[in-house]
Structure 1
Amino acid sequence: MEAFLEIIRQEAKPIQMTVNTPFLMDTPGKVWFIDQGQINVYTVQLKDGKPEGQRFYFFTAEQQQLLLGLDSANSVHHIGFSADATKDTLVYEFDLARLKELALTSNYSPIIAGLISDWVTNLFFGISENENHPNKAANVLIKKGERVILREGDSISAQKKVVWAVIKPRKANTLLINGSGKLDQPTKELLLPLCRESFWESNGNLGLKFIGTTEAIQQEAAWQGLEALDNTLFALEKNAIDFVARNEQIRLKSKYQNQYIKTIQTLKDAEAILNREAADKYAKGLRVQTDDVLFNACQVVADPAKIRLVPPLENTKEGYDPIGDIARASKVRYREVLLDSKWWQQDSGALLSFLKEGDTPIALMPVKGNRYEAYNPVTKEAFRITEKNQHLIDKVAYTFYKPFPQKKITLIDLLKFGLFKEKRDFYILIIMGLAGTGLGLITPILTGVLFDTVIPNAGKSQVMHVGFALFMALIGYILFELTEGFALLRIETKMDHSLQAAVWDRLLDLPASFFRKFTTGDLADRAMGINEIRKLLSGVVITTILSSVFSLLNFLLLFYYSVKLALVALGISLVEVLIMYWIGRWQISKEKQALNYDGKTQGIVLQLLNGISKFRVTGTEIRAFNHWLKLFTKSKQFSFEAARVENIQTVINSIMPLLASGIIYWTFFSSSEWGKLSTGQFLAFNAAYGAFLSSILAMSAASLTIFQVFPIYERTRPILETLPENDDRKSNPGRLKGNIEVSKVNFRYNKDAPLVLNNISLQLRSGEYVAFVGASGSGKSTLIRLLLGFEKPEVGSIFYDNQDLNKLDLRLVRRQIGVVLQDGQLTPGDIFSNIVGSSPQLTMDDAWNAAKMAAFDEDIKQMPMGMHTIISEGGSTLSGGQKQRLLIARTLVHKPRIVMFDEATSALDNRTQAVITESLNKLQATRIVIAHRLSTIRNVDKVFVFDQGKIAQTGSYEDLIHQEGLFKDLATRQLA
């Protein structure tokens, strides 16, 4: 290389470049060699031979790489390439003819072959980076010396190094480069390059023989082939620029719509004050005006629940799941439901469905009387669902779930969230409770009338009238109680539906670091705490509290009859309340400790069950049992003490009525009230006080239940108060291309712990195959966790396609990454469901293709039930190698752009590993492998050697194995 550099420096023209001093690479006979620094190459649009408008990044040429002049002047696409230094850069310009001369010499041909290979790779790397021309997964990978027949439907790519093939003039029009690129009709044979970043297809059978770059550049046909590619590259880039411009328009339009969602809704709310009856009563649900009828129907369905939907960006739609696209863009959950035979006669909430004819989306909206209307966003008309027309609607529908606000959730927030659309039932509950209490006042009043007036006058007819009044009051009370009970039941059901779904949605959105704080069983117990609170506060408790509040009317009636006796009754009630408060505080302390130990017990039970086989192997069943029994005993001890407190309260409540009556009677007979109150008035007072005291005692009993809510809520608070890892400020990453950059990252798991990663920096290009190696604890798996967003760097940044991971929606990033862990778990079910998961677009053929890529298809065929073979809990029906291959198939079925393997092939033999490696090469994804068996990474592009949280070495396998250092030491120990 030094001799070649010497020739360049002597013969070529030096050009000292600085930042923002670009030049057009528009001279076909010229070559530029980068001696120092680096150059960014941009695609530019040309007008009169000069750059105009925005420039688009194409690729970066590094030190000791070449740039070749391109014939942009004769391009019909008005596209060119501009070179601009990223820092002070020294470039040498010389003639292409001189380069060709040097390529014919044995001393310099290998060097120039490497330079030309880098140039070709850079060109097609820039092409593959464009979303309009994604790098296709080739089904055949080519090495030099191979002969292939490229048939229609096939796709080929270079396995690793650039290869060249002869294209005859009569066959040139059948070749498709990167999906759509075609050659101008050549007049002579050409040698065309094929690299890993490009792929070829054909409209017909095309016989090809491939040679290496060193052999190719010694033929004029290779240089003519590079020249012939110019116009093809310009055509592909022109399409890419148009595609980017369209996407930018879509992005800006979506951004504009999202910014004005709240403004539009505010204006509509203001309009509703003046115009209560709109011509289209469902139009208020259309917060964002779009031409997408499915999105409009979804908005109408989501509006009653106050769910704000956001239209998905065009370039992020997955196509096969449009409802899922909307839900993911809006950060809400949805699920599929089945409409039964009489679905329109019961309120199941707002639903989204489709008309069978034309597949038109419609909003199914509940109306009064347990009936449904169907709103058609196309015609903007609604019609009532009946027995006669219900068959027009598809039986599959969808419902959306409202998430919690992206803030810390308090107990008041929980009540507001659960009752936000149940105000009508809540008002009914209050009104019926007040009405029932009002009717209850009739009993003491009529008691006084009966003993003071009716009985002394011996009026039989009056007795009948009083009896009839009491009977009617009883009937009214029963009806009020029934209405109150139905309203309460509706509130409970809808609160449980909305609250529990929101809690689990919040739990699934929490950062991965949150889950380190709790065991699985303990966390599940905490998540179900909301449901426990709802059960504790439902039914009798709410009714009792409301009745107790409304019993104040009886308390006021006491003062009507006797102020002195009423004050005595008030004193007794205050004593009861103080006792209730003291016992409640006592109970809370016991319940809190019982729940904490119960959570620990739940957590350890799950771990013990999963480890039964290990306990039997090691003979430690007794130790495991003792560990569980210790926690269980503590839990039951505090539960017993809490129950004893409740028993004390029950005894006090049993004594209080007798004690209170005795005090009231003694006060009455020993005071001046004896002569003031008539018998009827005293009995009326006593009846009113009895009702009031019963309410106080009932509330006392209910308070014990209420006090249980607080320790349960305390356990649930971490889930409610931890903020989700994704919020409205996180942006959509779009379709990832596979570029990853880690810049000066430091990380530690705890503030006082040592650094696990120390100043880590690395850069991976799309399609690269790299390995992380090193001793256990050197930071390899931790870096994978950071790349997945499970942890956040203490210092530094991580970028995907030049986008800061900290600012991206992590759910949408992870959907595009395939991850296989050494201890990955299978889902109970059959093999097919384990491979395709819940993806509706994946078919049985997709599952078989993925199994073949993972070298698992033959194993499945040998199973009696094939793809429908049942997998038990923990996957015990499969061997270790079969589990790993099934996990790999589950990853590859989605054809991710980035794949991460953490010792995912440790249980596989060499042949199986070779098949999987070949499949990954065809996928053309960016691949990161953590490996301890160094023999499995011989074919990777680059190896990063980790040592105590730092990257100690970087290079290819062959380079590192011959260098003194940690990698060679690791390899030597394994070979030994």
Structure 2
Amino acid sequence: MLGRIMDTQPDDVRGQLEMLILKMRYKEGETFKSPSNKPLLLNDPDSVWIILQGRADIFSAPMDRNAILGPRQHLFRTQASSLLMGVAQGDSPLGFVAVGTGDTEIMHLPKEKFLELAAAPETRKLASVLLNDWIANLYLALVQIVPPKEFIHLEPGKTTTLKLDNVARSIKNLVWVKVLDGDLRYLGRTEGGALDPAVPFPITGAGWLQAARGSKVESLETETILTRDGGWDFVDAFHRFVLREINHRARAADEREKARLKNRFKADSARVEAALNQLAAPLSEGGAAVFSEVDAEDPLLAACQLVGRELSIEVRPHPDMLRGKKLRNPLADLAKASRFRVRQVALKGEWWKSDGGPMLGYWEDGKRPVALIPTGVGAYVVKDPAERKTIPVTPDVSDNLSYFAYTFYRPFPERQLTGWDLLRFAFRDVWGDVSSIILMGLLMGALATATPVITGIVFQEVIPGSDRGGLVELGIVLLMIFLAAGAFQITRSIAILRLETRVGNILQTALWDRVLALPTWFFRGYSSGDLAARIFSLDVIRETITGPAINSILGGIFSLFNLIVLFAFDSSVAFTAVVLVLIAVIITGIFGSLQVRAQREVSTFQGRISGLILQIVTGIAKFRIAGAENRAFALWARDFSEQKKRSFRARML
């Protein structure tokens, strides 16, 4: 078994040990079979047992004298030639139980016989090996966390000085540590881990001690401990310590299970309440209906779910919350479990009159989390899941909120994305701005049709009839149309600017979230410059979509109204214009596809050159030492000239 001290002994020691066990078997020992259906209670402090054949699993279990009262908890497994010691329960409700297999054979010895072996000089070392193996197995069951990598090694027979927070371990041998001066803590615990200076304490490679202040300790071998007065009392003290630790661990597990069941009951009750609220939602004008689909027990989770619902983010509880554990950093842990990112923002001035998007805030007095949700232009509401209330934000309400809030950033879906997926992701929450842009385009197109109509009226009716009053009226109408078109143009430009900013923010944060979550092997296939160029190319695509592409669509809408007017004036001319436009579209599409293909090659060289330049700049000192500046320049010039050639070809198209 891995970690057993018995396995690390030389062959001659193991041979001597087997001979000693064989001798005890035929002289003092009482042997018996130990099948799995007959557990052996190790609660007799005056007895020891040695496994002669097979193996046995050691459990802890609640017991009362000779009866097991509850479920067993597995500790470790022992093999042949292993020592099992009887441990008095004392005040502990737990005891040790050994369960063998079908071929397990065990020898029982009175403890006094084993003490005689430990006292005799010729067999003391062998008895120490058996005892060390038993203690090491208990340690493996006791310590369930990885020990620190940096530590001071404890050597038997030597005194060691430790500074504050120094960690002490023994890798090769089991040693008994006696505190001569200072304060040592088992596993570095601040509570319940202090060692008694009067009682030596065993340490193996699985455990460690940490100095709470400057300390001096003495390390002793088990053989030395057994020769001292009260040596076996130290072993009994360690047994009591193990029982306390296992009992504490069992109680903690029970508390976690109770908390889990309690949380499960609360979650079930919350689901029932949410279902009832959903049924009542059609008859409700707000209030509880707003909170019907969020967690009813954890205010932070509920507030995050309210914010996430506005951003199309599914906020899930952290697994530790379901197990009843307390989170160290609740907001960061929730964000990690639900795969979104958060950023702290300051609520300055009249922040609710600007559009900052949904945010997570806190009440200033009790730090209770709330959701800050925009409801329109220059308006926010506070949704308090704990009180299940919705409150409009006013200056007085804002004064009661914490100065800092948190915004959420939606990640990409966890799958391979297409261009259509990116468009849907980017424009999911900006359809209000898109609608404003389209509406302004339609209004401007409608106003544009009025100019040729009014011009026709002027030349056909007003001028021939010398109608000065009508000319003034039409002039005023044209002026009003011009002013309205200017207002529509300003509104459209603001909407386009908002759209570019919001889409860029959505795409860039989601992209960097995806990049930072990629495995390390992904980055080996790209140079730094090439990877940066690929990442920022998405921003170029976004600028194209929200800039020239939208302007082209609006231009098409504008031209559609002019085409309608042209059909009204002369259908033959209109058909001719349509044919010419179709020819232009086909030619532009053909050359555009060719140019895209050429630009793709140019982009490949741009990424390669960016990576090369970064490598040259970072290694310029090495180039100078090696006198390789000309070779570096030649490498750059070769790729740069090729990029320019391909760029020239693309522009010629």
SS in 2 for 1:430: helix
- Cα distance in 2 for residues equivalent to 1:563 and 1:221: 116
Q: 2:58 aligns with which of 38, 41, 50?
A: 41
Q: Deviations over 1:731-774 (max 9, x none)?
A: xxxxxxxxxxxxxxxxxxxxxxxxxxxxxxxxxxxxxxxxxxxx
CA distance in 2 between counterparts of 1:52 and 1:494 reads: 64
Q: Is 1:6 aligned to residue 14 of structure 2?
A: no
Give the drift of 1:596: 0.9
Q: Deviations over 1:36-86 (max 9, x none)?
A: 6654433223367434554333234355443322224xx433212333458
In structure 2, what is the Cα distance between the partners aligned to 1:552 and 1:63? 93
What is the rounded CA distance, in whole Å, between the counterparts of 2:504 and 2:35 in structure 1? 65
2:151 matched to 1:144?
Answer: no
Q: 2:233 aligns with which of 224, 239, 244?
A: 224
Are the equivalent residues in 2 in contact too, given 1:37–1:90 (CA < 8 A)?
yes
Q: How many residues get paired?
A: 630
Superposed CA deviations along residues 77-120 of structure 1, whole A, max 9, x for unmatched, are 32123334589666554443333222234443223323322322
Q: 2:296 aligns with which of 280, 289, 296?
A: 289
Out of 61, 84, 96, which is 2:78 matched to?
61
2:362 counterpart of 1:354: yes
Matched residues in 1 for 2:534 and 2:167: separation? 54
**Cα distance in 1, alignment partners of residues 136 and 363 from structure 2:** 51
Aligned pairs for 1:662-741 (under 5 A) are none
For residues 258 and 518 of structure 2, what CA distance do their matches in structure 1 show?
33
Q: Cα RMSD over matched residues?
A: 4.2
Structure 1 residue 601 corresponds to structure 2 residue 614: no
Q: Secondary structure of the equivalent of 1:400?
A: strand
| Separation of aligned partners in 2, 1:261 and 1:496 | 38
Aligned partner of 1:409 in structure 2 is 417
User: Separation in 1 of the partners of 2:525 and 2:460?
Assistant: 70
The answer to whether the aligner puts 1:309 opposite 2:315 as a matched pair is yes
Give the drift of 1:361. Answer: 3.3
**Are 1:182 and 1:232, in contact at CA under 8 Å, matched by a contact in 2?**
no
What pairs up with 1:310-709 in 2 under 5 angstroms? 310-312=316-318, 313-314=320-321, 321-386=329-394, 390-549=398-557, 551-645=559-653
Distance 1:206 1:640 in 2: 76
**Amino acid in the other structure paired with 1:41:** I
Residue 615 to residue 316, structure 1, CA distance change in 2 (3 Å): farther
C-alpha distance in 2 between matches for 1:571 and 1:507: 47
Instruction: Report which stretch shifted further, 366-375 or 600-609.
Output: 366-375
Residue by residue over 1:630-684, the C-alpha shift from the partner in whole angstroms, topping out at 9 and shown as x without a partner, is 2222222222222222xxxxxxxxxxxxxxxxxxxxxxxxxxxxxxxxxxxxxxx
| Higher alpha-carbon deviation: 597-606 or 193-202 | 193-202
Q: Distance in 1 between matches of 2:586 and 2:232?
A: 97
Aligned match of 2:91: 76
Gap change, CA 1:141 and 1:355, over 3 Å in 2: farther
Q: Secondary structure at the match of 1:441?
A: helix
Give the C-alpha shift of residue 264 in structure 1.
9.4
Alpha-carbon spacing, 1:426–1:320, altered in 2? closer, same or farther (3 Å):
same
Shift of 1:276: 6.6
Give the corresponding residue for 1:212.
Answer: 221
Question: Structure 1 residue 327: deviation in Å?
Answer: 1.8
Alignment pair present for 1:162 and 2:177: no
Q: Is the 8 A contact 1:346 1:370 kept in 2?
A: yes
5+ unaligned residues in a row in structure 1: which ranges? 646-976
Secondary structure of 1:539's counterpart equals: helix
1:899 is matched with none
Unpaired runs of at least 5, structure 2: 1-13
1:910-929 equivalences in 2 (<5 Å): none
Q: Give % identity.
A: 27
TM-score, normalised via structure 1 length: 0.57
SS in 2 for 1:307: coil
| Residue of structure 2 in register with 1:786 after alignment | none
With normalisation by structure 2, the TM-score equals 0.83
Which fold has the larger relative contact order, with Cα–Cα distance below 8 Å and residues 6 or more apart in sequence? Answer: 1
Letter in 2 for 1:144: P
Q: Partners in 1 of 2:616 and 2:272 — Cα distance?
A: 55
CA 1:241–1:453: 2 relative to 1, 3 Å = same
Deviations 1:470-490 (A, max 9, x none): 333222222222222222222
Task: Identify if the C-alpha distance between structure 1 residues 69 and 349 changes in structure 2 by more than 3 Å, giving closer, same or farther.
Answer: same
Please give the alpha-carbon distance, in whole angstroms, between the structure 1 residues aligned to 2:241 and 2:202.
13
Contact kept? 2:61, 2:69, Cα under 8 Å: yes
Cα deviation, residue 295, structure 1: 3.2
SS of corresponding position for 1:59: strand
Query: Are the counterparts in 2 of residues 155 and 199 from structure 1 also a CA contact under 8 Å?
Result: no
Does the 8 Å contact 2:176/2:203 carry over to 1?
A: yes
Counterparts of 2:578 and 2:274 in 1: how far apart (Å)? 51
Pick from 92, 116, 120: which aligns with 1:101?
116
Offset of 1:261 from its aligned partner? 10
Q: Secondary structure at the match of 1:510?
A: coil
- Relative to structure 2, which stretch is displaced further, 468-477 or 572-581? 468-477
> Do the aligned partners of residues 545 and 509 (structure 1) sit closer, same or farther apart at CA in structure 2, a change above 3 Å counting?
same
Q: Matches of residues 872-887 of structure 1 in structure 2 within 5 Å? A: none
Q: Secondary structure at the match of 1:27?
A: coil
- Cα deviation for residue 393 of structure 1 reads 3.8
**What are the superposed Cα offsets for residues 164-192 of structure 1, whole Å, 9 maximum, x if unpaired?**
36799xx9xx998665669999xxx8654
Whether the aligned pair in 1 keeps the contact of 2:54 and 2:104 (CA below 8 Å) is: yes
Q: 1:507 Cα shift?
A: 0.9
Larger Rg: 2
1:244 to partner: Cα distance: 1.8
Residues 183/627 of structure 1: CA separation in 2 closer, same or farther (3 Å cut): closer
